[in-house]
Amino acid sequence: MTQDLRAAAPKPPVAKRVPHQITQHGETRTDPYFWLRDRDNPDIITYLKAENTYTEAVMADTQALQKQLYDEMLGHIQQTDSTAPVPQDGFLYYSRTIEGQQYSVHCRRPNTPDGAEQVLLDLNEIAKGQPYLRLGNFAVSPDQRQLAYALDTSGDEVYIARVKDLTTGRVLPDEIPNTYYGLEWTNDGKHLVYITLDAAKRPYQAWRHTLGSSGPDELLYEERDERFHLSVEKSRSRRFLFLKLFSHSTSEVHYFDAADAQAKPILFAARKQDVEYDLEHQGDRFFIRTTEGGRNYRVLTTPIDKPAREHWTEYLPHRESVMVEGVDAFARYIVIHERENGLPRLQVRPNEGQPYVIPMPEPVYTLAPTFNLEYDTDEFRYDYTSLVTPKSTFSYNMAKREARLVKQQPVPHYQPAQFETRRIFATSHDGVQVPISLVMKKGLKLDGRNPTLLYGYGSYGITTDPNFSSERLCLLDRGWVFAIAHIRGGADLGKPWHDAGKMKKKRNTFEDFIAAAKHLIAEKYTASDRLAIMGGSAGGLLMGAVINMRPDLFHAVIAKVPFVDVLNTATDPSLPLTVIEYDEWGNSNYKDYWEYIKSYSPYDNIERQTYPHMFVTAGLNDPRVSYWEPAKWVAKLRTLKKGDNLLLLRTNMDAGHGGASGRYERLKEIAIDYAFLLKVVGQTSTSARDVHIAPEANAR
Q: Which residues are catalytic?
A: 537, 622, 657
**HSE (side-chain half, CA atoms, 13 Å) at 323:** 19
The secondary structure of residue 491, as a DSSP letter, is: -
Q: How far apart are CA 356 and CA 218, in angstroms?
A: 45
How many Å separate Cα 122 from the centre of its chain? 25
Q: How far apart are CA 123 and CA 135, in angstroms?
A: 8
Strands 171-185 and 159-165 turn out to be antiparallel
Measured in degrees and rounded to the nearest 5, phi and psi for residue 348 equal: -100, 130
Under 8 Å between Cβ of 409 and 468: yes
How many Å separate Cα 558 from the centre of its chain? 17
Burial of residue 402 (CB within 10 Å: 0-12, 13-18, 19+) is exposed
As a whole number of Å, the CA-based R_g of the chain is 26
**3-class DSSP state for residue 515?**
helix
Q: How far apart are CA 611 and CA 642, in angstroms?
A: 7
Q: How far apart are CA 538 and CA 559, in angstroms?
A: 10
Beta bridge partners of 234: 241
Q: Which of 58, 43, 10, 129 is nearest to 650 (CA)?
A: 58
Q: Give the strands of the sheet with 251-257, arranged side by side.
A: 229-234, 240-246, 251-257, 266-267
Q: How far apart are CA 65 and CA 45, in angstroms?
A: 29
Beta bridge partners of 215: none
Gap between the terminal Cα atoms of the chain:
35
Under 8 Å between Cβ of 182 and 239: no
Could you tell me which residues come within 8 angstroms of residue 622 by beta carbon, excluding any fewer than 6 positions away?
155, 156, 561, 655, 656, 657
Q: How far apart are CA 425 and CA 445, in angstroms?
A: 19
Count of Cβ atoms closer than 10 Å to residue 404 Cβ: 11
Q: How far apart are CA 103 and CA 300, in angstroms?
A: 42
How many Å separate Cα 123 from the centre of its chain? 22
Burial of residue 697 (CB within 10 Å: 0-12, 13-18, 19+) is middle
Under 8 Å between Cβ of 583 and 227: yes
Q: Quickly list DSSP for 606-659.
A: --SSB--EEEEEEETT-SSS-THHHHHHHHHHHHH-BSS--EEEEEETT-BTTB
